Chain A
Amino acid sequence: MTETKDKSADARRAFLRLLGGAVACAGAAAAGKVAVTQAEAATAPSTVTPPAIPGYDWTKHRWAFGVDATKCIGCLRCVEACKRENDVIGDAHHFRTWVERYVYLEGEETPRVDSHSDPVNIEASGSEHEYRFANRYKDAKVEKAFFVPKLCNHCTHPACVQVCPTGATYRTNDGVVVIDHTYCIGCQYCVQACPYGARFFNEEKQVTDKCTWCYHRITKGLQPACVEVCPVGARIFGDLYDKQSPVSLFIRNNRTRVLKPESGNAPNVYYVGLDKDVI
């Protein structure tokens, strides 16, 4: 009887030993995997083996964007062009790029800020698919007013990439932060992490979405759609590796600044003509 019990205890011990071994192996395998992934920095398959673009070498470019806020007239052609070019959901809640209006009224200490997605402006345009700035301050005394175009800053240290649990969003070698829509799980952690509000959830595809600087265009030698349609040259795009590119000249010939530098994200959209209240 005692012998049977011992046998049984032995069997259980053996089972537990086996289980412990299995757990240890799984742990070791996981640790090994972690070591590998850290070396690769990002882990979506598209990062390790990027999709080939014929005639394009992403090691030969470093893209950057410039915004001259003193030139922007708030016509919003950029916003509409972006929506069409990139098939962005046509409502007032999803934008890869947008324009803000800062208005300082006489006697007020802080500016009044709105964008074309403000309900008052949407009412003025009559549709969520068309955008304009309503003339809402026509009866007030305006001291100063300007527009600020906004878009993804394609940061050098992007918080959105840092928090992505799968590595579906990553920074390409040529300095563009993109999302692999076939790999994104749609947790929206990146939407939370972006300090600029540049990311949104694409309800059609059930993944997150944002500006790509029109990666499909720039890799073919074209300009991003918003830059292409801007009638006043407020948006500037180019290659930092080319010292004579529009953006290199823009950065060299102006005193530029970036948005929220304290975030540590090291953004790559360079601004001219911002006021202290621009957020």
Chain B
Amino acid sequence: MTDYRSIKPITKNIVSLNAPAIEVTKTLGGYPLYISDTKPIGVIQIELFWGKGSFHQKQAFQSSLAGDLIFAGTKKRKEVEIVQFFDCLGASHHTDSLFMGSSIILRCVKKHYEKVFSWLLENASEACYPEQGVVSAISVQSAALERQQQTPKYWASRKSMETLYGPNHPLTRYGNTDDYQKIDSTCLFDYRREHLPISDCMLFLSGDIDKEIIAKTDTIMAHYPGGSFSVPKFQDCLSLPGDNTVVQHKVSNTNQVSLQMVAHVSPKNQKEKHQLTLLNMCLGGYFGSKLMQVLREEKGLTYGVSSYFQPAFRDFTWTISGEFTSANTQESFETIDMIFRDLRDTVIPLENLNKIKQYYAGQFRSGFDGPFGMSSKVQHLLYENLDMDYFETVLPSIWAISPKDLNTLANNYLHKESFIHVLAGDT
């Protein structure tokens, strides 16, 4: 008799999303507002999002510190008073600063929403960055940067981007510890006033949202006339050619080398973006990828190696990254080159491609699960300037990609000489 365990259960393909329709509305005062699918869970998340980020800063760390210190004090109140108010009501908040976007995210229990959200707006709109708070934050963050600079990975990432785009490019404004000394209250205040006024934000509400909460939001926002949110505006991005450049950066007393390979990629259209997504997955985008399977699971040369796309305006920086024992670096490079050749010379079997599609589809769909999943997705639409029905088109586009499509793409993009190679550590 056949053991039933030897027969693999039938799996169904994830071919469609069927997410709720996306509709961006407005508050009575004209603020763009997205409300995600609501659930009676007793908690609320509200996110204020601006289409401005580190791209708009005049000096390193200006954007992130302007966000981090948004509750460090106003002319009326000290940081202790502002933060304790949130703390006492069990509310938590954090700020995010991206290249072309910034957010303040607030989470609280439903019964305190009105008080907490009003408090947030009042203090964020009047943040004046008291000198003592700035000095202390600079001391904390510059020490953290110093510690980061002890790791080979930090230098591999930094040197690869600086080599690819040049040291003065907006994508490579890394900043050093002495750049923190140039930050003061005035420059943070100027950044907030210019780029993070409440009038320019968009609102994302999720969690336990009902009519009452929406009405309260309208009332609170009425104190802040505005509604001038604009989506991020991207310019063309220029990079330097790869030319098989190899950069070595010595980091003493390390046992490993951090390896990064980077290339600038400008997809021709949305279709090619989807194809590149799958090609990247095949290369190093998930555990079953060739990089992970060969370098980790077959050869045991690394704990982790991966490939991914970093946003570069409307384009991407294709990045391969991993940590290897110094003696294994050459073998790792050769293996990566062999994988490139293999993807160029061999058409990926349909069965393998379907596995990648199915994995992608499963992860894509689960990203919409839960009360807070949808908000970040809608933000992505706005950030990338995509149509509101874009997400419903993704899975059909992914399933339509053929093995030949990926092979053609591999021949266009995957050449070691197109990538800049950086080694940092005990080189």
Q: Verify that A and B bind, or say they do not.
A: no
- A interface list, Cβ under 8 A from B: none
